[in-house]
Amino acid sequence: MNTPRIGLLHCGTFPALRTLEDPALQPYRIESVYLPGSAPEDLAELDVVLVADRLHPGQRARFEPAVRAALQDAGKTVIILGENNVEDWLPGVGYTFRPTVFWAWRTGTDTGTRMRLPEDPLWEFFTRRAVDWHHHGLLHPPEGARSLVTMEEDGTDSGALLYLDEVNQPARLLVTTMDPVYHHGSGFMPGATQLLYSLLRWVSATHRPSAAA
């Protein structure tokens, strides 16, 4: 089994630190990449670059070129979680604001969240509860990316809440407007925990090392 090296980029907030200490995640051997004390070059040794949600914009900016460089490595997977303004620094991505819905996961209200492409292999690892709980707006990915979780409004999809891009760069790229590290580490919203666990299970089970490795 080719266990990937997973690095969590974070700024030392309590949700990120609690996530790193979660006993259920210890088998993944997640490496802490504390941005104020790390160098962008540190990402080169990782197989999976996991960009935690809600990073400090100034600290994130230092690492944005290194994240884009990671996208040029076919042996890597890059996962970027919500509220990181990807439209400003990730090539070819657009964004549209939508109000955040906080309590639909408790009331059962239909938020318009839809799971698409049911035959996609990713769905072997994710359930509806893992992707239908909360979000921070809509993404508009580049052509060729697969919008796996979308927002349906007036009968049509208006944007993606989670997409996977395996064609526009050598690396595998998953982007979502959901923020599971924050909510898992805060003990707030069970679906966030399911999404975080599912992401780690998916990226570990489907990791393909580069030919050079």
Q: Which two tokens stand for residue 175?
A: 């982007």
- CATH fold of the domain at 6-205: Rossmann fold (3.40.50)
pLDDT, mean of residues 183-211 = 93
Look at residue 106 in the predicted model and tell me its pLDDT. Answer: 87
Q: Is there a contact between 12 and 183 (Cβ–Cβ < 8 Å)? A: no
How is the chain split into domains, by residue range? 6-205
Q: What residues contact 50, with CB distance under 8 A and at least 6 apart?
A: 6, 7, 8, 9, 30, 79, 81, 199
Do 164 and 145 touch, CB atoms closer than 8 A?
A: yes
In the prediction, which pLDDT does 43 show? Answer: 98
Any idea which residue has 């992707």 for tokens?
Answer: 131
pLDDT at 1 over 60: no
pLDDT tens-digit series, residues 159-191: 999 999 999 999 999 999 999 999 999 998 999
How confident is the prediction for the chain on average, in pLDDT? 96
Q: What are the E-state strand segments in 127-171?
A: 138-140, 146-153, 156-165
For 175, counting Cβ atoms within 10 Å of its Cβ (0-12 exposed, 13-18 middle, 19+ buried), the class is buried
The model's pLDDT over 18-56, given as tens digits with 9 standing for 90+, comes to 999 999 999 999 999 999 999 999 999 999 999 999 999
C-alpha separations of 4 from 10, 38, 156, 206 in Å: 19, 20, 38, 10
Query: Is the per-residue pLDDT at 88 higher than 70?
Result: yes
Q: What is the pLDDT of residue 212?
A: 55
Is residue 71 predicted with pLDDT exceeding 90? Answer: yes
Half-sphere exposure of 73 (CA within 13 A, CB side): 21
The SS3 assignment for 9 reads strand
Query: Residue 151: pLDDT band by 50, 70, 90 thresholds?
Result: very high
Neighbours of 5 (CB within 10 A): 15
Query: Which of 94-108, 112-126, 127-141, 174-188 has the lowest average pLDDT?
Result: 94-108
pLDDT of residue 3: 86
Q: What is the pLDDT of residue 2?
A: 72
Q: How far apart are CA 213 and CA 173, in angstroms?
A: 19
Share of the chain above pLDDT 90, in %: 91
- For residue 111 the two structure tokens come to 């938020």
